[in-house]
Chain A
Amino acid sequence: MERSLVAVDQNFPGAAGDFPALLRGKGLLAPASANPVPQAGTPQKMWQPTEATTILAFKFSGGVLVAGDRRATAGNTVVYDRADKVLEIDRHSIMAIAGVPATAWEMARVLEHSFQYFRRTQLQEMSVDGKVRALSKLLRDNFGFVMQGVGVVVPIFATYDSHPKPEARLYFYDAMGAQFEATDFAATGSGSPAVRGILYYENNWGAKPLQELGEDEAVSIALRALDTAAESDTATGGVDRDGKIYPLIKIVSREGIITLPESKIAAVFKETVA
């Protein structure tokens, strides 16, 4: 019997179907590495993950603010100064990335399609826990590449949960896929130690805790934090005063995601940072 051109799978996946598995079945996604050990022939000197960038996120009165600088580096060369590292995954979720852009953008794409695919096939929205876990699984599947010295990604995931109680949720991950829920703030990338210090200080001894900040105050703190990170970390772009390149800032709230216009960021920068 002749095979049809596009076979409708007879081993019907039904409710078990998962988008990365579908892609792997079609050879469109690298197989998950079962054995994350450096392979023979790879240099034994462990490659140090640089995660060269700075990403931060914190909860404030209007939801979660996620900000990232725009610099992309390769070693000590700046390759791009308008990189977009704060990516919208769906109407209420943002993934911000530090790490190797190729892997990170691919992960974001897989994740975005996974959520849509789940909703379309299963006829219900994926839960926040399910989404958080989906990213964790992608990181875990990628860990073999990390051990081989390529493709480390350390993301932050911010979303708005409607069930059981409406609230903004914020998660950060390590390169192996462990997920941690942040109560107030998270930062990742090479410039993150400085940022973490600032956010911790602001949250405890600042004018008011981060969760009570208004939008302009929150933007101001995000800009100051990124500028501080860029002061000592060459891989962080901070604010390019000459080129007028500002960090990318997005806000997740009950209503969805807003990307702050550059004019607004520029105004806050001029007034409270510069």
Chain B
Amino acid sequence: MIEEPYRWVEAIANRREYIEAQLAPGSPIAALGYRDGILFLTVSQTRQKLFEIYDRIAMGAIGHPGDIERLRMAAIELASTEGFTRSATDVSLRRLVHYSLSPVMKSAFEQVYGPPYLARMLFAEVGERSEQDLFLRVEYDGEIATDGATYAQARQDFAALSGTQQSRELMEEFLATQHAPDADLETVLNSALDAWSIGHMTLQTDDAKKPPERAAVRKHRQERLANSGIEAALLERDASRAIRYRSLSDKELRLLIHD
């Protein structure tokens, strides 16, 4: 019956609805470019959500841990093999996502008899200068999105990932006005926490058109931070080292937070 085209469309639509519902409670992730690199941040519950993929590439993901793990492993394998056979500079996030991950995710999503990937991912690659930083969001159906960047003009300073589209868009709206790419770590950390709080607050509501009030964001942020840990990682711009990924401990981050 799936051979009938409209049935297929229906099956895909059901599948999309199912996956969206599964991903909806996912805690947001913000990635912000700043003077000395890129900061990835989320406020985590139990499992790790930010990962090192290669020398200059990191990933944050929400979804089913089993699916995230498969995709993460595939990305690391592809990057490591490329880096080994050619060189570390030949490993590129754009190629990894466009030519390898996206086609695999798209075909898994559209083959309605097989399982799709229940995952939504955010990748970033740190460049020599902040203009060369690249942020890519990959959806469960293989769709690749950037936040305002085009193929010809990759300029983009941040990216957000969240359980619902509305929550993500409000985070992006906030970051578009509040975030400056030449900020220092302390400033960018606080912007990322605010963006996370906005994303997290608006996960449950259906009709938030504007980011919540500043005072409400502060309050939400304080409440959440009292009970959960901050998970963060850096991709450092420092060219003297090959490996740029460094995870930051909750303890060192708390020293930089202004409440």
Contact = CB atoms under 8 A, between A and B. Distances in A.
A113 B83 contact: yes
A6 interface: yes
A113 B48 contact: no
Interface string B77-112: 110110111000000000000011001100100010
Nearest to B77: A22
Given A6-B100, A8-B70, A8-B74, A113 B84 contact: yes
Contacts of A23: 81, 84
A5 B52 CA distance: 24
A12 B70 contact: yes
Contacts of A2: 107
Contacts of A110: 84
Interface stretch (A117-125, A133-141, A166-174, A186-194): A117-125
Contact of B80 (A4, A13, A22): A22
Contact of A121 (B73, B78, B81, B99): B73
Interface centre among A4, A8, A109 (most CB of B within 10 A): A8
Contacts of B81: 22-23, 26, 28
Interface in B124-142: none
A26 B107 CA distance: 23
A116 interface: yes
Contacts of A113: 80, 83-84
Contact of A28 (B48, B54, B85): B85
Contacts of A117: 76, 80
Given A8-B71, A26-B81, A121 B76 contact: yes
A19 interface: yes
A110 B83 CA distance: 11
B227 to A, nearest CB: 24
Contact of A6 (B69, B78, B84): B78
Nearest to B55: A116
- Interface residues of B, dominant DSSP: helix
B80 A6 contact: no
A2 to B, nearest CB: 8
A266 B107 CA distance: 62
A3 to B, nearest CB: 9
Contacts, number: 58
A1 interface: yes
Given A113-B80, A116-B243, A120-B52, A4 B99 contact: no
Contacts of B74: 6, 8-9
Nearest to A121: B76
Nearest to A7: B104
The winner among B52, B71, B81, B85 for most chain A CB atoms within 10 A is B81
B188 interface: no
Given A26-B81, A28-B85, A4 B107 contact: yes
Contacts of B100: 5-6
A17 interface: yes
A17 B110 CA distance: 29
A120 B76 contact: yes
A109 B84 contact: yes
A109 to B, nearest CB: 7
A14 B70 CA distance: 8
A4 B76 contact: no
Interface string B106-123: 010001000000000000
A123 B48 contact: yes
**Residue picked from A2, A22, A120, most chain B C-beta under 10 Å:** A120
Interface in B39-86: 48, 51-54, 69-71, 73-74, 76-78, 80-81, 83-85
Nearest to A119: B52
A110 B73 CA distance: 18
A22 B243 CA distance: 21
Contacts of B71: 8
Nearest to A88: B242
Interface string A4-35: 11111100111001010011001010000000
A17 to B, nearest CB: 7
Contacts of B77: 17, 22
9 contacts: A1-B111, A7-B104, A9-B74, A17-B77, A22-B80, A110-B84, A113-B84, A116-B80, A120-B53
Given A22-B81, A120-B54, A123-B51, 18 more contacts: A4-B107, A5-B99, A5-B103, A6-B99, A8-B71, A8-B104, A13-B73, A22-B80, A23-B81, A28-B81, A28-B84, A113-B80, A113-B83, A120-B51, A120-B52, A120-B76, A121-B73, A121-B76
The 10 closest A-B pairs by CB, nearest first: A8-B74, A6-B100, A113-B84, A120-B76, A117-B80, A4-B107, A120-B52, A4-B104, A8-B104, A5-B103
